[in-house]
Amino acid sequence: MEQLKYAVDYGTLGILFCMSVLVFGFAMERWRFFRNIDFDSYESKNQIERATTKNLTIISLISSNAPYVGLLGTVGGIMAVFYEIGMSGGALDTSKVIVGLALALKVTAAGLLVAIPATMVYGGLMRKVDIAISEWEDAVFKKS
């Protein structure tokens, strides 16, 4: 059972770590894109919308699903604690139960630590999208 607890714990934390690396990587890529955007290379509003919103769906999905991944790890950890209680044959050590439950909750906290910054990054990048499209429209209007 100890192996299952470690697999749930570290597996979930590993998934959350990968999610945070993806958010960071895509956010840096988008930041560089917006810094170097060339409005003259887009002929239509649809083209610039596709270009500016690239990879934002992934950031949005991670921000909305990271808490659920953390919750899944917490549920797995709590199930392991209850299993250990059941296998103890009635000899209940409350301090071990409380420590086990507290450790299970750390995965939910990790999920929130991934989701909150990802949501903030997504919101900031969506604002950049709105500004870029507005600037493109202004440039097109000035040409005509």
Whole-number pLDDT of residue 119: 98
Whole-number pLDDT of residue 38: 92
Whole-number pLDDT of residue 1: 67
Which residues 6+ apart lie within 8 Å of 106 measured at CB? Answer: none
Whole-number pLDDT of residue 109: 95
Is the pLDDT confidence value at 135 over 90?
yes
Q: Tell me what the mean pLDDT of segment 38-43 comes to.
A: 91
Burial of 80 (0-12, 13-18, 19+ CB in 10 A): buried
**92-112: per-residue pLDDT in tens?**
777 877 887 888 899 999 999
Q: Which two tokens stand for residue 108?
A: 């939910």
- pLDDT-derived band at 31 (thresholds 50, 70, 90) equals very high
**Predicted model pTM:** 0.86
Is the pLDDT confidence value at 122 over 70?
yes
Q: Looking at residue 1, what DSSP letter applies?
A: -
| Every domain of the chain and the residues it spans | 2-143
Whole-number pLDDT of residue 90: 65
Q: Tell me what the mean pLDDT of segment 45-63 comes to.
A: 96
Q: For 80-96, what is the HEC assignment?
A: HHHHHHHHCCCCCCHHH
Mean residue pLDDT across the chain: 90
**74-87: per-residue pLDDT in tens?**
998 888 888 888 88
Q: Is 14 helix (H, G, I), strand (E, B) or coil?
A: helix
